[in-house]
Structure 1
Amino acid sequence: MTAASPPRPARVYVFATCVVDLMAPQAGLDVVGLIRRAGIAVDFPAGQSCCGQPAYTSGFNDEARRVAAAQLDLFVADQPIVVPSGSCAGMMVHHWPRLFADDAPRRAQAERIAAQVVEFSHFARDVLGLADAQGLGQAPVTRPVKVALHTSCSARREMGVHAPSRALLAALPGVEIVQQARETECCGFGGTFSARHPSISGAMVADKLAAVREAGAEVLVSADCGCLLNLHHAAQAQGGVATGQPRCQHLGSFLAERIGLAGGAWQVTD
C-alpha cells in the first residue's frame, strides 16, 4: 500500500451477490482468500441474497425495495462491505438510497451502508495493495499469458472499476494485457436484458468474443460474474477453449491463481 492508501481494516463484510453465490461460488471463495491473506477477518452474513437490481432495472421498485431492505438489516457493524461485482456495488451505492426516498429511516440506513460499500478491485488495489510489489509478494505463477479485460457497463460508468482492474492485472508477472476492439462495449448480459432480448444479447456477446479472439487473448477477465456468466456460456456454445475461445475468469480468481492461493478457477454451475 502507498502512504495515501486507506487504512487496512481489521474486519470486513463480503456481500457475495446472488450470481456468485449460486453460479460461481469459487470466485467468492477466492475473493475471501485474498482478503484473509492480508490478515483481515471476513464476516459473511448468512441471510444475504440479491441486491435487488434485476427487479429495479425491470421497473419493479416495490419488489426491489423488499429485497434491498432485507439486505440492509444484515450489515450492522461499521466496517467495509466488499462486493465482487461493480454492477451490484453500483446498485447498493447509487440506487438503494433512491429506493427509500420516501422512507426516512430506511434511507438513512441505505446511505450509511452505501458509504461502507467498496467494490472488490478498488479494495484489492487500494487496501490489499495487490497492484504493487510489496502487497503482491512473490507471485509463484509467472507463465506468460495474454489477458483481455472486460468491465461491465455499470461498473465502468457508475463505479470507475476499469482502472483498478487494469492496474491489478498489469502488476502480475508474465501477464500481457491485450486491447480488444470492443473493450468499452456491453457484453449483452444486462441482467434481465439477456432474457428479454436473447437475439440481441446473443449478437452482442458474439461480437465481444470475436474481438477478444482477434486480440489473441487466452483469458478474458472481468470483475463481474454476471457478464462472465454470459460470456462463458457463449464461449462454450462455440466450442470452448478447444476452438480458440478464451477462458472466462473472475478477477479475484485470476489474482488468486497467479498468486498461488488454492482455487483460482472459474467454475460455473450449468
Structure 2
Amino acid sequence: MSDLFYNAAPQETRVAPPRKTARDYPTSKPRTVYLFGTCVVDLFFPEAGMDAIHLLEREGINVDFPQGQSCCGQPAYTSGYTEQAREVARAQIDLFKGGWPVVVTSGSCAGMFREHYPDLFKDEPETLAKVQNLAERTYELAEFLLHVCKVQLADQGEPLQVALHTSCSARREMNTHVHARALLAQLSHVERVDHDHESECCGFGGTFSVRMPDISGAMVADKTQAIQASGAQQVVSADSGCLLNINGAFEKQNIPLLGQHLASFLWQRTQSKQEPRA
C-alpha cells in the first residue's frame, strides 16, 4: 500500500533492503494458488481482484482466496509501529499455509511479504521459518503471469497509447515495472509511452500523503501533468494506492484521464467474445 520507506516514524526509520539477486522460477504452472487481494483492492478496486482471478483461471489455475485476509501490515511497519505490524502480519501468515504460491495484486504488498516480514520476525525463530517459506512462495501478479505462467496475450482491443506507473517500493523490491512492461509489450495494439517523472513517487506513500499533504500534492501534480504531456490515452498501474492518488489528482485538475489496475486492463484487452466478464 505504501510507496515510501522513509516516513517520519515515531520509533525508527524503515529503509528498504537491498534488492536480492534474480530468483529462480518454477518450470511448470501450479494447479492451485492463493490470491492476496490487498485491502485497497478489496475496498476500492474489487474488479481488479476479480480480474486477477479471471486471468489466473484462464491459465488453468485454481485460485483460493482466504476470506480472513486483511492488510499486509505495511502502513504500521513503515510508520515504525513494529508490534502492531507483527500482529497484523501474523494473521496473514496463518492464512497461507502449505506449499501453494501466493499471488499478490500489489507489488508493494508483495514486497512486504517477501522482503520485510523476515525483518519483522528476525528475533522469533519459529515464526521466521514460516515467514521465509512464505517469502519464497510470494509473487506479484505480473511477475507470476510472465515468469511462472509464461502467459501469451492476444490483444482484442483497439489501438491505444498507455502510460505505466509503478509504485516506488514495487519498482525497487519486486521489479514490477519490468514485468508490467513485458506484458504490455505482448499487446499488439497497445503502445506504451514514456513520460517524465516515470520513476518518481506519485506522492501517495501511505501515511506520507497524510502527514505531508502539501509535498504529496506537489508530487502528484508533477506526475499527472507529465502523464498528460506524454499523450497517453490511459494510465495503467499494478498498485491501487497509487491509482487512488493519481485518479484523484486527475479529477481535481480536470485532466480527462483515468488510471486502471493492470489486472483489469489485461483482462479487458484480451477477453474473447466467449469470455463474458463476471
Normalising by structure 1, we get a TM-score of: 0.90
Matching residue of 2:201: 186
Secondary structure of 1:39 counterpart? coil
CA contact (8 A) 1:26 1:263 kept: no
Q: Which residue of 1 is the match for residue 38 of structure 2? A: 17
Counterpart of 1:257?
A: 268
Equivalent position SS for 1:180: coil
The question of 1:50 aligning with 2:71 is answered yes
1:222 lines up with 2:237 in the alignment:
yes
Pick the aligned partner of 1:140 from 121, 138, 156: 156
Q: Equivalents in 2 of 1:5, 1:104: separation in Å?
A: 27
C-alpha distance in 2 between matches for 1:229 and 1:182: 18
| 1:186-205 alignment, distance < 5 Å | 186-205=201-220
Of the three residues 43, 52, 57, the one matched with 1:36 is: 57
Which of 103, 125, 128 pairs up with 1:104?
125
Q: Which amino acid aligns with 2:119?
A: R
How far apart in 2 are the matches of 1:220 and 1:73? 35
Q: CA RMSD in A?
A: 1.4
CA distance in 2, matches of 1:19, 1:182: 24
- 1:89-111 CA-partner distances (Å, limit 9, x unpaired): 11110111111111111111111
Off by >3 Å, runs of 4+ in structure 1: 261-264
Residues 1:225 and 1:64: Cα distance change in structure 2 (over 3 Å): same
Q: Distance in 1 between matches of 2:129 and 2:110?
A: 18
Question: Among residues 215, 228, 232, which one is paired with 2:247 in the alignment?
Answer: 232
Letter in 2 for 1:146: Q
Letter in 2 for 1:213: Q
Structure 1 counterpart of 2:101: 80
Q: Percent identity?
A: 53
SS state at 1:64 partner: helix
The residue type paired with residue 110 of structure 1 is: V
**2: CA distance, partners of 1:160 / 1:125:** 12
Counterpart-to-counterpart distance in 1, 2:156 and 2:236: 19
Question: Number of residues paired by the alignment?
Answer: 251
In 1, Cα distance between equivalents of 2:117 and 2:49:
23
- Residue in 2 aligned with 1:6? 27
Contact kept in structure 1, 2:228 and 2:255, CA below 8 Å:
no
Per-residue deviation, 1:212: 0.4
Of residues 172, 187, 191 in structure 2, which corresponds to 1:172?
Answer: 187
Q: Give 5+ residue unaligned stretches, structure 1.
A: 265-270
SS of 2:30's partner is coil
Deviation at 1:40, TM superposition (A): 0.3
Deviations 1:38-76 (A, max 9, x none): 110000000000000000000100000000000000011
Unpaired runs of at least 5, structure 2: 1-24
